[in-house]
Structure 1
Amino acid sequence: MPASTEQAVRVAVLADSDTRWKWGALTARRLVAAEPTGFVLRGRATPTARQLAETGVSTTPPREVTGAEFLREVRDAALRGEGYDVVVLALVGGTVRAVLQGLSELALERRPVIVTGYVGVVYEKLADGLLLRHGADVVLANSRHDAERFRAVYEGVGADASAVVEAALPFLGGAPYTPEAGRDTLVFAAQPSVPATRAERVYLLRRLIGHARQHPGREVLLKLRSKPGEHTTHLEELPYQRLVRDLAAPPNFRLVYGHMGEVLDRTDLLVTVSSTAALEALHRRVPTAVLTDLGVREVLGNHHFVGSGLLTSFERLDAGVRPEPDAEWLDRQGVAAGGDAYASAFDAARERVADLLAGPALPPVSPYYTADTAPGYLPGILARHRLDVDAPEARPGGLRRLVREAARGAYRHGVQRVAPAIRRLGEL
């Protein structure tokens, strides 16, 4: 039976990191009036309890599962008459494609509406990431700029682009920026994978510390997303916490963690290379700067901000120069648009999901990447995820499943707890 307004809509969110869990849970709430059931994929970037709690999106932590276990849950829930009406896939592109395949192979009498999208700025692998997500019923674009790019990619390869729906980042919000007498705080929003090299990271640290020394009355904060041993959307090979130990920092420079929104509450200037935190800050009218010190390069992602008016350098920041954002660029990016624009940003997506729920049973998933269009690529994507829901390791109580879980648990404990401790002892 189609979902109706009288019947509670059941929503599942499957995420593969803390940031994508935040995006997925908040997106689900924007789309339907229901609290989602959360799942996080077990893997090398599985978030810790601290990371999940710090997202601030739910008091009920998501359940850790394998991809096969998630599919089995979707199937069994349907058999119990409690099937999920909407599934939000907050995952990397390859995993989205594999789960699309798995959901299709479940052959449910009435499959859920499948929603996916991106957690932030899309600055790399645009075509590949989009084509791996093709087949979802709704592919959310975070801005008019992204919606135009997404449709152009799909139409350019002859794929159906009707699933692309313009929306916005679901976590924008907070009080507009208001200067506070006696407060002067610069926050650098670090990223786990940008920049990647030790030399570039040490350069940024030296410039931040140097800026703090030049401005002793200013608080200079390095905002980090994960503690040593933890992982987020991208793996971090050279944590800033480790690199900064060799540098003498003044007392007005320090490291901070926590919810980005709470940090922005006390920020007077947000500085970054290309973090999505820049969009959060701009939405709240917090003065924002995007660094050019390491070049304006696709690998850094700061090329996304060309035309924004935000590109600048530490030399200028040290001299007190503050960039001014371009109003037209902001509008195309869906931030700081003014009026009720953000409040209504999800109306089109909400309407599309409601129409799909109210209509007849959905047709089979029809992705662009198939055995016909990508026979040399797709098999490898699917093989890496091993989503056979009837495999022995996927069954409750299966010996292989227990052994694999124990091995994964030991590996994660070694990576997240033992290895950092050994590194710290080696540095004493």
Structure 2
Amino acid sequence: MPPRTDETAAPADTPTADRAALRIAVLADSDTRWKWGALTARRLSGASESGTAERPVEISGLLLRGRATPTPRQLAEVGEVGVDAGRVREVTAVEFLHTVRDEEYDVVVLALVGGAVQAMLHGLAALELPRRPVVVTGYVGVVYEKLADGLLLRHGADVVLANSRHDAARFRAVYEGVGADASSVTEAALPFLGGEPHRAQEGRDTVVFAAQPSVPASRADRTYLLRRLVEHARLHPGREVLLKLRSKPGEHTTHIEELPYQRLAERLPGGLPPNFRLVYGHMGEVLDRTDLLVTVSSTAALESLHRRIPTAVLSDLGVRETLGNHHFVGSGLITSWDHLDGGVRPEPDEEWLAGQGVAADGSYASAYDTARARVGELLAAGPLPRLAPYYTPATAPGYLPGILARHHLGPDGHPLPGAVTPRETGRVRGAVRETVRNAARGAYRHGVQRVAPVIRRMGEL
């Protein structure tokens, strides 16, 4: 199958697209990671907001099949990322490795959870390609938990992107602390920052609460936040109050959402006031009309701060590592609903902002210069050495094999027996195979997204 291309790439059947084009594969496992991966690929290629680049670019979109694989609706809602959502295809880990072997990509962006990154690194190393691609990975947002675990699972990539100066220092400290090479850590920024700076408009007064799928986790805490948001709307009837949701019931994002706010809102005593609405869509478009962004610890706070939109991080449920709002200690943004109800608007600490990669000072245009130069150096260096993750069967014999097995790879990175399915020939056999796989995929998602949460809740009774 030929590589997928975006509208900025040269057609695949032209001489220009043969080797002159920079060929990038993005493998993602959720809607948010797809957004991060595709936009990271564009920024690493030198593509501007208008989609132009110094060199033709071909970006292939691949989704790792699993519980959080985004639906077409979620892909469409991510917004413009330079890749046609209708031409993105799902693959298993083994199919992805076959694709890399056959397509000769220049760069591979792994926009995955840590364990999946580690599995792909070992799988790519086992391919022993004479000319392997540059491998890039990173985090989709604020790194507030499992710092050492997540980082060591990403070790071995050529470039591990840090979204801020603060993160870059932390990442290097972890690698150096276990004796691992830290040269891959490269400071950049979140690739989806952008939009016009905030400007108050006469007659507009909009408060947006950026919900998170798994923070907080309990019904009581989520109901509390929803109730306070609704009460805020009632206290200020002239203010538009929006609950920005990441997914619809039954859909999954990066994290499992077992108690959707939509369901909780249906059961809220007294109903919802007329100035309160649930909204979906691209976060940037919602921020275009936002005058105050409220959250517990969503990455949306960084997008908001980049645009100088008044931003508040809630302390109502405590400032705790499990909530992620401890990341904002020192930011000047931590406050409560009581204060917001009374008209308080937090003022961000400028020194804290400077270290967090939000680039509110106008430096965002150069945020990816170092990463782009690093990738360029690696591409120009000739054949790259075999990927060498920190975790090996010798350093983590009780941990690594299980991670690889979840993606049908053996301890040496090669596919386990039975994991490789011969390619079907003929349209009929291919269509039958795809129908069966779609049915199986639907059954799997139904089990993970609908049945499993119910069983877990019953077990808590």
Query: In 2, distance between residues paired with 1:389 and 1:414?
Result: 25
Give the SS at the match of 2:221.
Answer: helix
Asked if the contact 1:229–1:415 (Cα under 8 Å) also holds between the matched residues in 2, the reply is no
Structure 1 stretch displaced more, 392-401 or 4-13: 392-401
Query: In 2, distance between residues paired with 1:358 and 1:145?
Result: 29
One of 147, 161, 168 as aligned partner of 2:189: 168
Q: Say whether 1:185 aligns with 2:202.
A: no
Structure 1 stretch displaced more, 388-397 or 235-244: 388-397
| Residue 84 (structure 2) aligns with | 59
Q: Say whether 1:75 aligns with 2:104.
A: no
1:259-274 to structure 2, matched below 5 A, reads: 259-274=282-297
AA paired with 1:357? L
1:314-333 to structure 2, matched below 5 A, reads: 314-333=337-356
Report the alpha carbon displacement of residue 390 of structure 1 after superposing the two structures with TM: 7.6
Q: What are the ranges of 5 or more consecutive residues in structure 1 without an aligned counterpart?
A: 78-82, 421-428
One of 361, 373, 382 as aligned partner of 2:404: 382
Asked if the contact 2:26–2:37 (Cα under 8 Å) also holds between the matched residues in 1, the reply is yes
Query: In 1, distance between residues paired with 2:234 and 2:309?
Result: 23
Report the alpha carbon displacement of residue 178 of structure 1 after superposing the two structures with TM: 0.4
| Residue 422 (structure 2) aligns with | 395
AA paired with 1:311? I
Question: Alpha-carbon deviations, 1:253-303, whole Å to 9, x = none?
Answer: 110000000000000000000000000000000000000000000000000
1:241-320 to structure 2, matched below 5 A, reads: 241-247=262-268, 248-320=271-343
Query: In 2, distance between residues paired with 1:131 and 1:392?
Result: 26
Query: In 2, distance between residues paired with 1:157 and 1:291?
Result: 35
Report the alpha carbon displacement of residue 134 of structure 1 after superposing the two structures with TM: 0.2
Give the SS at the match of 1:278.
Answer: helix
| Residue 84 (structure 1) aligns with | 105
Question: Alpha-carbon deviations, 1:292-346, whole Å to 9, x = none?
Answer: 000000000000000000000000000001110000000000114413x110010
Q: Say whether 1:25 aligns with 2:50.
A: no
RMSD: 2.2
AA paired with 1:64? E
Give the SS at the match of 1:357.
Answer: helix
Asked if the contact 2:408–2:419 (Cα under 8 Å) also holds between the matched residues in 1, the reply is no
AA paired with 1:374? A
Asked if the contact 1:229–1:419 (Cα under 8 Å) also holds between the matched residues in 2, the reply is no
Structure 1 stretch displaced more, 56-65 or 155-164: 56-65
Give the SS at the match of 1:10.
Answer: strand
Q: Say whether 1:16 aligns with 2:29.
A: yes
Aligned residues: 411
Query: In 1, distance between residues paired with 2:213 and 2:381?
Result: 43
AA paired with 1:312? T
Q: What TM-score do you get using the length of structure 1 for normalisation?
A: 0.92
Query: In 1, distance between residues paired with 2:85 and 2:287?
Result: 25
Asked if the contact 1:154–1:160 (Cα under 8 Å) also holds between the matched residues in 2, the reply is yes
Q: Say whether 1:151 aligns with 2:151.
A: no
Q: What are the ranges of 5 or more consecutive residues in structure 2 without an aligned counterpart?
A: 1-16, 46-52, 410-414, 454-461
Q: What TM-score do you get using the length of structure 2 for normalisation?
A: 0.86
Question: Alpha-carbon deviations, 1:136-166, whole Å to 9, x = none?
Answer: 0000000000000000000000000000000
Asked if the contact 1:69–1:389 (Cα under 8 Å) also holds between the matched residues in 2, the reply is no
AA paired with 2:406? R
